[in-house]
Amino acid sequence: MIQDNELTEDARRRIVARVGDWFDEHRRDLPWRRSTPWGVMVSEFMLQQTPVSRVLGPWQEWMERWPAPDDLASEQAGAAVAAWGRLGYPRRAQRLHRAATVISEQHAGRVPGTLEELRALPGVGQYTAAAILSFAFGGRAVVLDTNIRRLLCRVEDGREFPPDSATASEWRRAEDWLPDTDERAAHWAAASMELGALVCTARSPRCEDCPVKDSCRWRAAGYPRHDGPPRRTQAWHGTDRQCRGVLLDLVRQNPEGVTVEVALGAWAERVQAERSLAGLLADALVRDDGGLLRL
List active site positions.
44
The set of residues, in sequence order, having a beta carbon less than 8 Å from that of 51 and lying 6+ positions away, is none
- 293, 287 Cβ separation under 8 angstroms: yes
What's the CA gap between 78 and 295, in Å, rounded? 5
d(CA 120, CA 143): 17
For residue 258, the SS3 value is strand
Q: What sign results for the dihedral spanned by CA atoms 85, 63, 39, 196?
A: positive
Could you give the CA distance from residue 137 to residue 244 in angstroms, rounded to a whole number? 36
C-alpha distances in Å from residue 65, one per residue of 19, 29, 61, 162: 36, 22, 6, 39
Closest CA to 89 of 57, 135, 55, 65: 55
- E strand or H helix at 220: helix 217-220
For β-strands 292-294 and 287-289, DSSP reports them as antiparallel
